[in-house]
C-alpha cells in the first residue's frame, strides 16, 4: 500500500515522503496515529506544492542566516574580567553573556545556538561557533581582556 507521511517517522522516512508499506502496518499503525495518509493523486499534488513552498522558505532562511553570518564574523565581542594577584581571572564568560552581548549589538541569537562547550575562563581571543541554520555556522570572535 502506498502512503504519504504526514510527520517524520524514524527508520521509515521524512514528512512528505511517498513510501510503500504493508497494508496491515498502514491500517493498524500509520493511519490511526495520524502519521500517514493513503496516497491519492490529489494528495500527491498538494504534497508537491507544500514541498516547493517549504523549500522556498528554507532557501530564504538559509540566505538570511548567511547574511547574519557575514555580519557576525565582521565584528568582535569584547569582554573584561578582573584578574587576581596571581594572574588568574575571576569569573567567566558564559553562553548567556554571549547571547546578551549579541542582542545588544542587534543580532538576537538564542542561547542554545551558541556552541560553547565550556565557559571562557582565560584571557585571550576565541572563535565561538554559532549555529544560525542547520547548514550555516558562524564563528564569532570573542576577546577576553583584563579589566
Which ranges in 26-81 belong to alpha helices (H)? 41-73
Alpha-carbon distances of 61 from 32, 64, 68, 76, rounded to whole Å: 34, 5, 10, 24
Q: How far is Cα 44 from Cα 48, in angstroms, rounded to an integer?
A: 6
H or E element, residue 102: helix 95-104
Q: Where are the domains of the chain?
A: 2-60, 66-146
Task: Read off the pLDDT of residues 13-25 as tens digits, 9 standing for 90 and up.
Answer: 888 888 999 999 9
CATH architecture designation of domain 2-60 = 3-Layer(aba) Sandwich (3.40)
Q: How far is Cα 28 from Cα 92, in angstroms, rounded to an integer?
A: 55
- Fold of the domain spanning 66-146: Ribosomal Protein L9; domain 2 (3.10.430)
CB 144 within 8 A of CB 79: yes
Task: Read off the pLDDT of residues 33-75 as tens digits, 9 standing for 90 and up.
Answer: 999 999 999 988 888 888 899 899 999 999 999 999 999 999 8
Amino acid at each position: 500500500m502506498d502512503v504519504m507521511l504526514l510527520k517524520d517517522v524514524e527508520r521509515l522516512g521524512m514528512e512528505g515522503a511517498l513510501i510503500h508499506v504493508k497494508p496491515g502496518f498502514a491500517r493498524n499503525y500509520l493511519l490511526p496515529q495520524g502519521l500517514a495518509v493513503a496516497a491519492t493523486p490529489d494528495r500527491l499534488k498538494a504534497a508537491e506544492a507544500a514541498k516547493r513552498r517549504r523549500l522556498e522558505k528554507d532557501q530564504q532562511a538559509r540566505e538570511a542566516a548567511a547574511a547574519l553570518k557575514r555580519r557576525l564574523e565582521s565584528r568582535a565581542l569584547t569582554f573584561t574580567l578582573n584578574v587576581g594577584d596571581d594572574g588568574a581571572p575571576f569569573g567567566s564568560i558564559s553562553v548567556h553573556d554571549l547571547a546578551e552581548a549579541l542582542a545588544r549589538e542587534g543580532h538576537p541569537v538564542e542561547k542554545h545556538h551558541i556552541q560553547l562547550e565550556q565557559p571562557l575562563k582565560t584571557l585571550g581571543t576565541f572563535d565561538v561557533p554559532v549555529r544560525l541554520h542547520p547548514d550555516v555556522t558562524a564563528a564569532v570572535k570573542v576577546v577576553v581582556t583584563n579589566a
